[in-house]
């Protein structure tokens, strides 16, 4: 995927809206090349689950049936740019590391809406809950560039 910046318009959050949770969702606005790549990952996930549906879902399923229960990692809603749902850990051995352009460690952005990011991601595992399933994508490292006050990014 090209080395272009993305943005995270909402910042990390979780279902319970608990700001101190150590595992949170981070939705990333996708650039076209990332969207294409993640679409291929989702297609692979559906194909894998379909091929192994008897073992994974306890019943042989068609691709159409698997797509009905698969939660894509890429959210596309109307004319809005696609959002990639990732996970970030803030503590423990899987804690996401944040970096400057000069490759120095830094803290996470204070205002994600005004930052440009380049995430390094890891497709971690397949999750299954009831009849639903999907892939987990973890952000392991994020290069963060705060928007210039002299030249706002306009995002």
Digit-coded pLDDT (tens) for 88-123: 998 889 999 999 999 999 999 888 888 999 999 999
Q: What is the mean pLDDT of residues 133-143?
A: 96
- Distance (Å, rounded) from C-alpha 46 to C-alpha 65? 10
CB-CB contact of 55 with 99 (8 Å): no
Judging by beta carbons within 10 Å of its beta carbon (0-12, 13-18, 19+), is residue 34 exposed, middle or buried? buried
CB-CB contact of 120 with 31 (8 Å): no
pLDDT surpasses 70 at 1: no
Q: What is the pLDDT of residue 155?
A: 45
Alpha helices in the chain (DSSP H): 32-51, 53-57, 63-69
Q: What is the pLDDT of residue 154?
A: 47
Question: Which pLDDT tens digit goes with each residue over 45-60?
Answer: 999 999 999 999 999 9
Q: What is the pLDDT of residue 77?
A: 86
Q: Quick one: DSSP state of residue 31?
A: P
Mean pLDDT of the chain: 88
pTM score, whole prediction: 0.83
Percent of the chain past pLDDT 90, that is, above it, reads 60
Reported residue count of the chain is 155
């Amino acid at each position: 995927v090209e080395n272009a910046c993305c943005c995270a318009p909402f910042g990390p959050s979780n279902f319970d809206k608990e700001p101190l949770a150590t595992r949170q969702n981070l939705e990333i606005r996708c650039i076209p090349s990332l969207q294409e790549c993640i679409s291929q990952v989702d297609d692979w996930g559906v194909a894998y689950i379909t091929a192994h549906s008897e073992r994974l879902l306890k019943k042989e399923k068609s691709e159409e049936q698997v797509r009905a229960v698969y939660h894509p990692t890429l959210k596309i809603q109307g004319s809005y740019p696609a959002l990639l749902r990732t996970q970030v850990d803030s503590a423990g051995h899987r804690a996401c590391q944040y970096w400057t352009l000069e490759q120095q460690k830094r803290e996470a952005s204070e205002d994600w809406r005004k930052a440009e990011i380049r995430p390094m991601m890891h497709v971690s595992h397949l999750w299954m809950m009831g009849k639903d399933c999907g892939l987990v994508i973890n952000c392991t490292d994020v290069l963060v560039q705060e928007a210039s006050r002299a030249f706002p990014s306009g995002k």
